[in-house]
Amino acid sequence: MRRMYALLIAVASLCGCGADGPREVTGDTGAPASISLTLSSSSAMTSKGDTRTVIAVVRDGEGRVMHDLALDWSSSAPAVATVASAGTTSDVTAIDDGVATITAARGDIRATVTVTVRRVLASVVLTIPDTALVFGTTTRAQATAFDARRQPMSVTGLVYSTDNAASTVVSSSGLITALFQFPSRPVAIITAAVTKDGVTAADSQVISLGGQQSFQIATFMLSEYILPNPVASRGVGIAFFTRDGDALNYHITWSSLQGPAANVILRESENEPGATSGTELVRLGPLEQTQSYGTVSGTLTAAHIIRRAGRPSISIDSLVRLLCTDAAYLDVQTTAFTSGEIRGRFSCR
C-alpha cells in the first residue's frame, strides 16, 4: 500500500499539470495555433506621421499565450500606411489617404486588422515667386495644402482668385497676368483656397503692378487716338522701347479690346489730308491671340523695317528719330477694327 502511494506522488510530480497549472509559454516551444490582433485605436489617422500600435497575442494549440515570438508583419498598401515590427508589437504609420490591411503571420497562421487614413486639411500656403509684375508679364502662383503635422498633401479643386480683376487675370492653374488699365489700382490680392471633406483653407499674397522702369521710348494707347474717327472701345495699351545697340527691344501690352488682337503695326505718319492710317514700318503679326488682352515682346532690327519702293532703307537710328519726332505711331488691330482699335504716339526720354 505504501509502495502504491509513493508511485502516485511521483507520477503527479512529473506531470506538473492540473486544472490550475500554468497557461503561458515563453519562447519558441511549440507551433502557434492562432494569432489575435488588437489595434490601439480604430479611428482614422488624420495626418501623415500619425501612428497606431498593433499588439499580437499568439496562442498554441492548448490556448496558452506564447511570448517573445518573431512575427512577419506586412501592409497591403504601403502608400497608405507602413508597418514597423518588434516581435509581437508593431507600429503602423500613416502615409496618405486610403485603407490598409495590416497582417501578422507565423508560418501558415496569420491575422489581420484594418487601418484607415483620412488626412484632414489644416492649412494652405500660397507662394508667388514674383510679387512685382510689369504690365503684360506673368508669374505662376503655387499653393500647397498641409495637414496638422505640417506635412504637404495632395488636394483637388484649388481655386485661385484676385480682388482686382480689372488689372490681373488668374488662371485655374495659378498663372497670374498683370493687365494695363487706365485708371488702375496698382496692387492686387491673390488668394488660393481649397475645400476637403468640408474643411476650407485659404492663403493670400499681395502683388504690385506697374510699368517697365528702364526704357527710352514709350507710348500710351487709347481708342480715342484713332483719328480722324475714334472708335467705340474701352481698350487701352502701353508700349516700351529700349535701345540696345543696333536694335530696339520692345514690350507692348493691351487689355479690354473688343476681341483678340490680330496685328500690332508701327506706322509712319501721313501728311496727306484725311489720311486714316500711315505707311507700315514694322508689322508684329499676325498674332495668335485668344483673349481681349495680350502682350508681344521682342527685338527689332533694321531687317524688320519694311522698305518702301523708291525709298532708301530705314536704319534703327532713323526709326528712333521718327518715333521721337511725332512722325510715327503704334496701332493695335482687331478683326472688328482693321484700321486699329487703339493707337498711341511716342514720347522719348
Domains of the chain: which residue ranges? 21-117, 123-210, 217-348
pTM of the predicted protein model: 0.79
Mean pLDDT in residue range 48-66: 96
pLDDT (0 to 100) of residue 271: 55
Confidence of residue 276 (pLDDT cuts 50, 70, 90): low
CA distance 141 to 77: 33
Beta-bridge mates of residue 37: 56
Report whether 276 contacts 339 (CB < 8 A).
Answer: yes
**Is a pLDDT exceeding 90 seen at residue 163?**
yes
pLDDT (0 to 100) of residue 312: 80
CATH 2.60.40.1080 assigned to domain 123-210? The reply is: yes
CA distance 76 to 99: 9
Number of Cβ within 10 Å of residue 302's Cβ equals 16
Tell me if domain 21-117 and domain 217-348 are identical in fold.
yes
> Which three three-digit cell numbers place residue 68?
517573445
pLDDT (0 to 100) of residue 14: 38
Report whether 99 contacts 216 (CB < 8 A).
Answer: no
User: Which class is 217-348 in CATH?
Assistant: mainly beta
pLDDT (0 to 100) of residue 183: 84
C-alpha separations of 249 from 22, 82, 148, 238, 252 in Å: 93, 57, 50, 14, 10
pLDDT (0 to 100) of residue 24: 52
Per-residue pLDDT reduced to its tens digit, 17-42: 444 444 554 555 568 999 999 999 99
CATH 3.30.1330.10 assigned to domain 21-117? The reply is: no
pLDDT (0 to 100) of residue 11: 38
Per-residue pLDDT reduced to its tens digit, 305-331: 998 777 788 999 999 999 999 999 999
**Is a pLDDT exceeding 70 seen at residue 9?**
no
Number of Cβ within 10 Å of residue 22's Cβ equals 8
* Least confident window among 58-62, 79-83, 142-146, 183-187: 183-187
CA distance 215 to 149: 49
